[in-house]
Amino acid sequence: MTRSVNSSSSFSSPVPDGSPQTAASTERAPAGGTTHVAIVALPPVSMSGVGPVVDALNLANEIDGRALYRWQMVSWSGRMVPLSGGAQWPADAAFGDTLACDWLIVVTERFQPFAEHRAFLASLARVGQRTPLVMGIHHGIWWLAMAGQLQGYRVAANWETYQQFAEQFEQTIVTQHIYEIDRDRATCAGGQATLDFMLAMIGRDHGPELVERIADVLGASTLKSGDERQRIPFVTAPGERHPRLNDALQLMEANIEDPLTTDDIAALVGISRRQLERLFKQYLGAVPSKYYLGLRLSKARSQLRRTSKSVVQISLACGFSSAAHFSNAYRERFGVTPREDRRNWIERQHGAVESGSREGVLVEPPERN
């Protein structure tokens, strides 16, 4: 049974008596008529994390007048899903190898290992292999990647962990887009992009008219396409630097592989190019492009010294169009070529030149307070 959604209410709420909103045992509609969705919610997760998913599916049913989607909330243990702020969401089922669905959605707002997470990953790999469409929202992509479900796919990684994800999962194609839909895998950076993502998925199945009607009910006047870049929120250090400058610096840090132009950065932080250049000169004594180049080269130097990636791989990962351009810029900044710098570094590390001392470093997902 679907929930009646009032246009003044943006997100669904758990049922007070603890009963599930959509029963796992709901009868299957005629063949081809209903998409069965399993939402695997892993703590920590909030109402704003799962609400847009549920509301989009419920509204699709309500507006169309048919059971287009039947969803169930799934937790690892089968117990209530704890939400940020103290609320709980009833689980319809425990996650396991027998789970069958058309869409499998893994959502969490931080990668947080739990006692049986290895068993969960093994089961996720098995279920994912036979599920027609597997999705990850926010840090749900970490669980999917660790279960081997995203190799060779485009993946939208949240700006907070974009670089770490790209370094750990080199066989994925990581982007800064708000969401990616790539064959039988779809990923979303989370946050406000979750609703855009869900409407895009519904639109693939049922067309733009239904999506527009859902958006109208939810008050989403402007829908974003998947290839839109994530906007980095303000994080300021009081008394240190101008907030617009801080925002520009975070944009640079989050876009190493595919560098933005100075005009792009100025537009994203809401000031003119000339204003941005003045801020960089006042606080950092450099023009934006030169400072940005320095960030990319510093990132390259770090990868040269702590991974076994080739110079070509590193040059591409740090936004250089060719290895020759990268080598020239590197030598101009550090006085040596990338290969010379790597060799010198290895020799300084107690003469450890064997290949084992140059293996890539496993980067653990970050802990957020």
DSSP, collapsed to helix, strand or coil, labels residue 163 as: helix
Tens digits of per-residue pLDDT, 230-268?
Answer: 765 544 433 445 888 888 988 998 899 999 999 999 999
Peptide bond preceding 208 in cis form (omega within 30 of 0): no
Question: What's the pLDDT band for 121 if we cut at 50, 70, 90?
Answer: very high
Q: What's at 320, amino acid-wise?
A: F
Mean pLDDT over each residue of the chain, to the nearest integer:
82
- Report whether pLDDT(19) > 80: no
Name the residue with higher pLDDT: 145 or 223: 145
- Report whether pLDDT(104) > 80: yes
Taking the mean position of all CA atoms in its chain, how far away is CA 219? Answer: 24
Tens digits of per-residue pLDDT, 185-202?
Answer: 999 999 989 999 999 999
DSSP, collapsed to helix, strand or coil, labels residue 118 as: helix
pLDDT at 299: 85
Name the residue with higher pLDDT: 241 or 314: 314
Please state the domain extents for the chain.
35-218, 243-358
Q: How far apart are CA 329 and CA 227, in angstroms?
A: 30
- Residue by residue, DSSP assigns 278-326 as HHHHHHHSS-HHHHHHHHHHHHHHHHHHH----HHHHHHHTT-S-HHHH
The set of long-range contacts for 122-130, using a CB threshold of 8 Å and a minimum separation of 24, is: 122/147, 123/95, 123/96, 123/97, 124/40, 124/95, 124/149, 125/149, 126/97, 127/95, 127/97, 127/99, 128/104
Question: What's the pLDDT band for 16 if we cut at 50, 70, 90?
Answer: very low
> Residue range 33-57: average pLDDT?
95
- Largest Cα–Cα distance of the chain, in whole Å? 71
Tell me the fold of 243-358: Arc Repressor Mutant, subunit A (1.10.10)
Q: How far apart are CA 228 and CA 249, in angstroms?
A: 19
> Residue range 270-278: average pLDDT?
94
pLDDT at 85: 80
- Report whether pLDDT(141) > 90: yes
Residue 86 gets the label, from left (phi > 0), alpha (psi -120 to 50) or beta, of left
Looking at the chain, the whole-number percentage of residues with pLDDT higher than 70 is 82
The dihedral through the CA atoms of 204, 205, 207, 213 has a sign that is: negative
pLDDT at 232: 59
The CATH architecture that domain 35-218 belongs to is 3-Layer(aba) Sandwich (3.40)
Q: How far apart are CA 246 and CA 237, in angstroms?
A: 8
CA nearest neighbour of 178 among 161, 156, 145, 162: 156
Q: Kindly provide the residue ranges of all beta strands, DSSP E only, lying in 159-304, ordered along the sequence.
A: 173-175, 179-182, 185-188
Is residue 108 a contact partner of residue 53, using CB atoms and an 8 Å limit?
no
Alpha helices in 15-111 (DSSP H): 47-64
